[in-house]
Copies of this chain bind each other. A is one copy, B any other.
Amino acid sequence: MATTTETDVRPGTGADDRYDRETVRAVLAAARRDGRGSLTAPEGREVCLAYGIPTPAEGLARSADEAVDLAARMGGTVVLKIVSPDILHKTEAGGVRVGVRGETDVRRAYDDIVAAAGAYDASARVHGVQIQQMVGAGQEVIVGATTDPTFGKVVVFGLGGVLVEVLHDATFRLAPVDGPTARGMLDDIAAADVLRGVRGAEPVDADAIADVIRRLSDLVADFDEIREFDLNPVFADAHGAVAADVRVVLDDEVRPPPVRYDQQEMLATMTRLMRPRSVAVIGASAEHGKIGNSVMRNLVDGGFAGEIHPVNPKADEILGRRAYASVTDIPGEVDVAVFAVPAKLVAAQVEQVGHKGIPVAVLIPSGFAEVGEVEMQEHLVATAAAHGVRLLGPNIYGYYSTHQDLCATFCTPYDVRGGVALTSQSGGIGMAILGFARTTKMGVSAIVGLGNKSDVDEDDLLTYFEADEATQCVAMHLEDLKDGRAFVETAQRVTVKKPVVVLKAGRTAMGARAAGSHTGALAGDDQVYDDILRQAGVIRAPGLKDMLEYARGLPVLPTPQGENVVIITGAGGSGVLLSDACVDNGLTLMDIPPDLDAAFRAYIPPFGAAGNPIDITGGEPPSTYESTIRLGLQDPRIHALVIGYWHTIVTPPMVFAELAARVVAEARDDGIHKPVVVSLAGDTEVEEASQYLYDRGVVAYPYTTEMPVAVLGAKYRWARSAGHLGAHDR
């Protein structure tokens, strides 16, 4: 076994980013040669030194004399720890002494430890005793890295002790991270104020901690075989950060990287899928009630202008279109093959699709992995790959591309074209999307089922939606990601241009995970998803209804140009609830300057309240709503309006809706584009008024003060993340 003979007692301060990869490689190779799954403490420190991660001064003593000498050179109190590849739990083995000081005590501690180790396990190989400068002043934090099954290498940061262990107050990022991202992690924990100095304490050196995070992230990114790496605790004070303990777990096997497609290749294939000129339906049928009939009917009835080719060896014609015995018989180029044949026939047909040169197969059939037919699915995927065919599904309802009038599903056509593209992993959720869209007249560019995700996944579709001019917003329901890292890379690129909403199901199903370190134990699936989706710039929806409402509202709302939100309300009670909702959604209620306050006051009764919310009071005529909304739109210091409408005889719902929509339209004609959301409180006419407003670009809801503000909040989260409002939290 390789043990370090390092006796350099200066604090480890590996100078800069010229990392010493050779040393790390050698340490890891030695451990591998030894068949060990973890590094010894001196090895861990050596790795830290090689990457410039500060550790306490330390050295290996092979005798009590050496221990005394080392302790003397460290000039203070020391910790002694047994070094043995056979003793994992040093404390249990009596192999640790802390706070030892002075020649006599150091000598005695050395002898005691070696004796205790022998008593604990007589066969244990003892390489000596590690003498470590004792640190412990300042704030205890934890910096770690682990290998997530979805995202690969991630780094974690949290405060030490109770805060991470009991409250799980920690934050994750994909490794490697750059300096600003690492620095951002410090602000991202609940107890961030502790680092800024509380109870009279000095703020800690945040840059030093961020530097440790960045260096560790580089280390684990460089060496895939490091499974977990704990720096716990790291002691940080105003002058630096030192990793007091290091624990490194190695991987038995390094997994092969997931299959990836080139971005241009994805885009080309997805464009043929979503904007086809020619579609083949394999298993098309003239018989009512068959899926192959529903698909044909929907393609025809939906008004798809391209070619539709039924494939069915037993038919000459289906729905007035010539039928072909095989997909290879179809003349000319075909872009998509939609499958409506039993599962067991799919693979053979995919082969034909490959021969015909069709780039993508849409696999509606179920009966694959979801019913335990994992091998059949694997065979299918291999067949498709061998023949250059990409697969959507299997086990899906199909897909809609509304701007092409394309409905390749067994459901019914959907014709409200608009700016949101939706995908769902589950068919049930897909059906909920369709029903919700229809009843709310949501403007849609695409709805795509992903089902078993045997091949085409969120990355492929995101890449297409990024380029698709009709799509202004993407909403995705997902239960897992095949390749989380690829998703993040794609999402980071796309979300700068368009909002991406994700409903991640299985949030709370935190499976118990075997973990060899604190970091591993911290990495509950959902926390990692939550942090990393945010890192990707994605807006996470807390539930299905929220995803649907965000999807409906985000493309409708203009992007805000600043943080100043103003509430104008006819009901004081709504104003209070809308204020609550603004705070809940991280929105900033504008501090209204005196001249603007005076301008609002000119329109409202003397007992109304200016300030923010602006309470115009309940008995006011339409003109008061109109004047105040117009002022709110025209004053350039205001960036978004939240309106609380109260149904009265003086200003009935449709009168309000008409005026609000008109004033917003007038502003738009003047080049003023601000998000306006409305909560309507009143009798049932407010429902019609809400739809009227929504149809005209004003996000409006009856009987809720929460939802309009939640949609505005989602738009703001995106705008901030995409850099439209200055701050850029990536």
- A interface residues with partner B (beta carbon < 8 Å): 159, 161-163, 165-167, 169, 190-191, 193-194, 198-199, 289, 366, 370-372, 410-412, 424-429, 431-432, 434-436, 438-439, 477, 479, 503, 505-509, 542-546, 548, 569-574, 576-577, 579-581, 583-584, 605, 607, 617-619, 644, 646-647, 649, 681-687, 702-707
Contacts and interface: CB of A to CB of B under 8 A. Distances in A.
Contact of A687 (B439, B505, B576): B439
Contacts of A429: 571, 573-574, 577, 681
Contacts of A371: 605, 607, 617
A194 B572 CA distance: 43
Contact of A166 (B193, B548, B618, B646): B193
5 contacts: A159-B162, A166-B193, A370-B607, A543-B577, A544-B704
B682 A432 contact: yes
A563 B618 CA distance: 46
A368 to B, nearest CB: 10
Contact of A508 (B166, B198, B569, B579): B579
A105 to B, nearest CB: 21
B703 A545 contact: yes
B706 A544 contact: yes
B682 A580 contact: no
Contacts of A584: 508
B509 A426 contact: no
A155 B410 CA distance: 62
A439 B508 contact: no
Contacts of A583: 508-509
A428 B646 contact: yes
Nearest to A506: B576
Contacts of A427: 571, 573, 618, 646
A497 B432 CA distance: 38
Nearest to A372: B607
Contacts of A161: 199
A198 B618 CA distance: 56
A272 B412 CA distance: 57
Nearest to A478: B573
Contacts of A544: 577, 703-706
A199 B163 CA distance: 12
Contact of A543 (B162, B702, B706): B706
B682 A573 contact: no
Given A683-B435, A684-B438, A618 B428 contact: yes
Contacts of A431: 571, 646-647, 681-683
Given A479-B576, A508-B579, A683 B438 contact: yes
A726 B438 CA distance: 45
Contacts of A412: 683
Nearest to A687: B439
Contacts of A572: 370, 426, 428
Contacts of A683: 411-412, 431, 434-435, 438
Contacts of A477: 573
Given A165-B198, A703-B432, A439 B646 contact: no
A706 B583 CA distance: 22
Contacts of A425: 573
Nearest to A709: B543
B580 A506 contact: yes
A354 B707 CA distance: 46
Nearest to A201: B162
A630 to B, nearest CB: 22
Contacts of A617: 371
A605 B366 CA distance: 14
For the complex of A and B, 4 pairs with smallest distance between CB atoms: A426-B573, A428-B571, A371-B607, A508-B583
Contact of A545 (B289, B366, B579, B704): B704
Nearest to A581: B543
A573 B449 CA distance: 12
Contacts of A684: 435, 438-439
A67 B30 CA distance: 63
Nearest to A574: B428
A647 B435 contact: yes
A163 B429 CA distance: 41
A565 to B, nearest CB: 14
Contact of A705 (B434, B543, B571): B543
Contacts of A574: 426, 428-429
Q: Which of A607, A619, A685 has the most CB of B within 10 A?
A: A607
Given A573-B505, A647-B435, A428 B681 contact: yes
Nearest to A647: B431
Nearest to A436: B703
A292 to B, nearest CB: 14
A643 to B, nearest CB: 12
Contacts of A410: 649
A142 to B, nearest CB: 13
Contacts of A370: 572, 607
Nearest to A706: B543
Given A162-B199, A165-B198, 12 more contacts: A165-B199, A371-B617, A426-B574, A428-B573, A429-B571, A432-B681, A435-B683, A505-B573, A543-B704, A545-B706, A545-B707, A548-B703
A371 B618 CA distance: 11
Nearest to A395: B618
Given A543-B706, A703-B435, A505 B577 contact: yes
A162 B580 contact: no
B199 A619 contact: no
A434 B429 CA distance: 32
Given A162-B163, A165-B199, A429-B573, A702 B435 contact: yes
Contacts of A479: 573, 576
A20 to B, nearest CB: 35
Contacts of A366: 618-619
Given A194-B166, A577-B505, A705-B544, A571 B426 contact: yes
Nearest to A572: B426
Given A190-B167, A194-B162, A435-B647, A576 B509 contact: yes
Contacts of A571: 426-429, 431
Given A165-B199, A426-B571, A576 B432 contact: no
Contacts of A503: 577
